[in-house]
Amino acid sequence: MAKQAESKSLQKLANLRRQHKSFINIMPLQTGGMLTEAAQKALVEFGDGYSVCDFCLGSLCNITNPPVREFAHELLPEFLGCEVATLTYGARDGIFMIMHSLAKPGGSIIVDGNRHYTTVVAAERVGLNVIGVPSSGYPEFKVDVNDYVSLIKKHNPKLILLTYPDGNYGNISDARRLGEIAQEYDIPYIVNGAYAVGRMPVNMEGLGADFIVGSGHKSMASAGPCGVLGMKRKWEEIVLRKSEAYGNKELESLGCTLRGTPLVTLMASFPYVKERVNHWDEQVSKAQWFSRELEKLSFKQLGETPHQHDLLHFETPALYDISKHVRERGYFLYKELKERGIWGPQPGLTKAFKLSTFAATKEQLQFVIDSFKAILNKYG
């Protein structure tokens, strides 16, 4: 790198700024991960590397100051509805830990057709064959969990997994029914709750699952990377097995995972997160109302209707038509929304995109609706 270019690059790094920090945020990846005030304070307090580990005696989940032990061993299992919980870098990392512990290369896993890409990548990293349960396709993309049965009989999988809800359409499949199926065929069952845990009430045992993973940065008001993993006690000695050489170190977490700042944000936000899931019905009504209003503007909501989650996927042909005739092409929408203080659809997309109503108030969402209307009128 030339000296001058390098000096310019270094200057940029010393002054990193986020463009739309105070915007109305309706980006699905982000609406559940916005920090509470307590988490913002904890972030600064425990910003320095390894400061979480001040009083560590060799095991992250047993640190008493800050109170990681109480959090991981008592509060978290109760919140997840499971017997044993631990901390991870994120939902995907929890899924990999389970797969890597329970299955061998060449084994099979059956997953819903709407699964996140990381489920497939984690399986591939372990060497597993992934068998997908197809959804109903356009426009609802529903997964009927009864379709797992014939595939279980055919493939004799080591594991089954359900994405609950999925991150593409926000569909809530019948996780409880799949729990019955898992028990009937005696197959360990993973619930990927990256968009559930921390947003809506979810109870692993109540769903009849063996494992549940959640994401701190996606749905628990935390900085990333950060996640949680809950399980039945019987899996503890397998997934959380200790090293033969170091009896107090867990193999799948390479000793310990979340040795840093995201963990304290997860903990600091937890009282708020625990409370907010009780207001899930209000979130669902808000999402349904927002969806109806956008449909009046000719947008078409994909996924289940009426919708049961704040993650919404819309087809927006009217916006796509505009993009074909303007200088900025697909980026016109991003620009128009940015001017109005709204951050949501992935920049460049106009044909179809995902939104989340989780973090915005009804007043803010009304402003979003009015803004879409104004944009359509401006170019229409």
User: Which of 49-57, 151-159, 231-239, 370-378 is the region at the interface with a copy of itself (rule: CB under 8 A)?
Assistant: 49-57
Instruction: For 377, list phi and psi in degrees, rounded to 5.
Output: -65, -40
Contact pick of 24, 26, 63, 71 for a copy of itself (by CB under 8 A): 71
> Which one, 168 or 288, has the nearer CB to a copy of itself?
168
Site pattern 28..47 for a copy of itself (x: CB under 8 A): -xx-xxxx--xxxxxxxxxx
In the chain, % helix, strand, coil (3-state, to 5) comes to: 45, 15, 40
Phi-psi region of 233 (alpha: psi -120 to 50; beta: other; left: phi over 0): alpha
Using rule CB under 8 A, residue 10 touches a copy of itself = yes
For a copy of itself, which is the closer residue by CB, 6 or 184? 6
Tokens of 262: 């995201």
For residue 224, give Cα distances in angstroms to 91, 119, 262. 11, 19, 6
Q: Which residues in 185-204 contact a copy of itself (CB under 8 A)? A: none
Q: Which of 4, 14, 137, 296 binds a copy of itself (CB under 8 A)?
A: 14
Give me Rg for the CA atoms of the chain: 22
| # of chain residues touching a copy of itself (CB under 8 A) | 98
Looking up tokens 């595939």, which residue turns up?
151
Distances in Å between the alpha carbon of 356 and those of 138, 214, 270?
Answer: 20, 18, 21
- Which of the residues 91 through 150 are near a copy of itself (CB under 8 A)? 92-93, 96, 100, 117-118, 120-122, 124-125, 130
Q: Which of residues 255-294 bind a copy of itself (CB under 8 A)?
A: 255, 257-262, 264-265, 267-268, 270-272, 274
Q: How far is the CB of 77 from a copy of itself (least distance, A)?
A: 9
Rule CB under 8 A: say whether 50 interacts with a copy of itself.
Answer: yes
Judged by CB under 8 A, the chain residues 332 through 371 that form the site for a copy of itself are 343, 347
- Indicate if the alpha-carbon torsion angle 71, 267, 84, 184 is positive or negative: positive
